[in-house]
Structures are given as structure tokens and as C-alpha cells.
């Protein structure tokens, strides 16, 4: 499941949104009619707003004072050489562009895990307009699937992603097979036929790992 900020996706009733921005519901209704701040409409034609509209209203965006940061990820805490290699190439790339990394976000977990501590903290900081530039060794270090969504999320909040794109940071066979196991375990309980052959499939993956 792709990371989506709970606050950004939250629907707000007009009275709650009005309270949030210090205006009256009548003012919101007038703004909606005038096209100044257009409300969304539910299937029952009721007005509602989103937290993203609130961020846009208060002008939250990444300014020149926002930070230059980098995100690194390894599949486990023991992959220290891979982590150091990511950092090395990111630092060199930033230096070439006359930039300095001000903060590092580092996780040791699968790219399929969207509950990564630093990953979620990074997304929250981007949403709040606190990050101007985000360096990645490779897009797979951020997420395995749906990178384009995250890229768009960053762009909407004024964050530019800079990919070092070193080929050695693409996932290796071991990492991909490990994530394939996670996918099999996840879907085996949802697809009966897959569940019936789960053990055989996992055994085959284990043999490939060896």
C-alpha cells in the first residue's frame, strides 16, 4: 500500500475547515460560489474540503531556506557497505552541484514496507514544506512500486528529487527474492489457489536464493 499522508487525504466538513482557517462557513460558501476557494462535492452533493487545500491556503511550500536532504535504504542493518556506497555517491553528486546534505534519512527495511520510520518522517517533512531538495542514490531506494506517485507528491510540495542513478544501487537478486517472499505471504491468504501452493513456491524461491 503506497504511503499517503493521512492528513492530506482527510476530508473536512465546511465547519471544521472554517474553524481551521479562522473563517465562517458563510465565507466559505461565498468563496465557493465566487471560485476563490472551490469546495469538493460528495456523491450526495455535500461540500467538503481536504487538508491539502488547507496547506495551499496557508501557503505551505518549500522555500530557499528549506533543507537539502538525502534518503538511503538498505534491506537490512547489516548492509553497511551498500549504505556507505550510497552516501558516498550522494555526497559527491551534491558537491558537484555545490550543495551540502543537511540531514540524512536512513532505513534498514524492505521497500515494500511503508511503515519505515524515516521514510514516513521524510514524507511528513516534505508535506510541511521543510525540504527543498531530496537526493536518492536510485529511485528503488525510496520505493519499489509507485515511484511516480511519490515524485508527484514531492513536486506538489515544492521538493525537487535528484537521482544519482548509479546502476549498482538497483536491487540485487537476494533483495528481490526476499520481497517476492513477502508478496507471496501477503497474497496467499487472499487467493485460495495461491495458498494451496504457497509452500512449494516458497521452497523454490529458497532454492533460487541458494
Is 190 within a domain?
yes
Residue tagged 552541484 (cell numbers): 97
pLDDT at 197 over 90: no
> CA separation (Å) from 51 to 16, 31, 54?
11, 17, 5
Segment among 4-13, 35-44, 63-72, 101-110 with least mean pLDDT? 4-13
**Could you tell me if 136 and 151 lie in one domain?**
yes
Q: Would you state the pLDDT for residue 121? A: 95
When pLDDT is cut at 50, 70 and 90, the band that residue 167 belongs to is: low
The whole domain housing 156 covers 67-169
**Residue range 64-70: mean pLDDT, rounded:** 86
**Could you tell me if 136 and 99 lie in one domain?**
yes
**Could you tell me if 164 and 82 lie in one domain?**
yes
Q: Which CATH number does the domain housing residue 152 bear?
A: 3.40.50.1390
**Residue range 112-129: mean pLDDT, rounded:** 90
Is 197 within a domain?
yes
pLDDT at 62 over 90: no
Number of domains in the chain: 3
Is 1 within a domain?
no
**Could you tell me if 36 and 107 lie in one domain?**
no
**Residue range 151-178: mean pLDDT, rounded:** 77
**Could you tell me if 102 and 165 lie in one domain?**
yes
Q: Convert the pLDDT of each residue in 15-53 to its tens digit.
A: 999 998 889 999 999 999 999 899 999 999 999 999 878
**Could you tell me if 147 and 187 lie in one domain?**
no
Percent of the chain with pLDDT over 90: 46
**Could you tell me if 116 and 137 lie in one domain?**
yes
**Could you tell me if 73 and 158 lie in one domain?**
yes
**Residue range 88-103: mean pLDDT, rounded:** 95
**Could you tell me if 153 and 186 lie in one domain?**
no
Q: Work out the angle at residue 122's Cα, subtended by the Cα atoms of residues 119 and 126, and round it to the nearest 5 degrees.
A: 140
Q: Model pTM?
A: 0.59
User: What is the overall mean pLDDT for the chain?
Assistant: 83
Closest-CA residue to 139 (of 99, 106, 176, 166) = 166
Segment among 52-61, 157-166, 179-188 with least mean pLDDT? 179-188
* Cβ proximity of 72 and 140 under 8 Å: no
Cβ-based neighbour number of residue 142 at 10 Å: 27
**Could you tell me if 160 and 95 lie in one domain?**
yes
Segment among 67-71, 95-99, 116-120, 138-142 with least mean pLDDT? 138-142
When pLDDT is cut at 50, 70 and 90, the band that residue 169 belongs to is: low
Residue with the bigger pLDDT between 207 and 128: it is: 128
**Could you tell me if 71 and 165 lie in one domain?**
yes
* Cβ proximity of 179 and 32 under 8 Å: no
Is 98 within a domain?
yes
Q: Which grid cell is 48? A: 467538503
Q: Which CATH number does the domain housing residue 46 bear?
A: 1.10.1660.10
Amino acid at each position: 500500500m503506497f504511503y499517503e499522508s493521512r492528513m492530506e487525504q482527510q476530508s473536512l466538513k465546511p465547519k471544521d475547515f472554517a474553524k481551521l482557517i479562522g473563517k465562517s462557513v458563510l465565507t466559505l460558501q461565498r468563496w465557493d460560489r465566487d471560485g476563490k476557494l472551490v469546495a469538493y462535492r460528495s456523491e450526495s452533493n455535500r461540500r467538503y474540503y481536504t487538508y491539502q487545500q488547507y496547506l495551499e491556503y496557508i501557503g505551505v511550500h518549500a522555500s530557499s531556506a528549506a533543507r537539502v536532504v538525502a534518503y538511503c535504504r538498505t534491506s537490512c542493518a547489516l548492509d553497511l557497505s551498500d549504505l556507505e556506497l550510497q552516501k558516498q555517491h550522494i555526497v559527491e553528486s551534491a558537491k558537484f552541484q555545490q550543495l551540502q546534505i543537511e540531514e540524512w534519512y536512513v532505513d534498514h527495511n524492505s521497500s515494500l514496507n511503508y511503515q519505515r520510520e524515516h521514510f514516513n518522517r521524510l514524507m511528513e517533512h516534505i508535506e510541511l514544506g521543510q525540504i527543498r531538495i531530496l537526493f536518492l542514490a536510485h529511485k528503488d531506494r525510496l520505493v519499489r512500486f509507485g515511484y511516480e506517485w511519490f515524485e508527484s507528491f514531492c513536486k506538489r510540495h515544492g521538493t525537487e528529487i535528484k537521482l544519482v542513478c548509479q546502476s549498482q544501487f538497483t536491487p540485487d537478486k537476494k533483495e528481490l527474492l526476499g520481497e517476492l517472499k513477502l508478496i507471496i505471504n501477503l497474497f496467499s491468504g487472499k487467493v485460495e489457489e495461491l495458498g494451496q501452493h504457497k509452500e512449494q513456491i516458497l521452497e523454490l524461491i529458497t532454492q533460487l536464493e541458494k
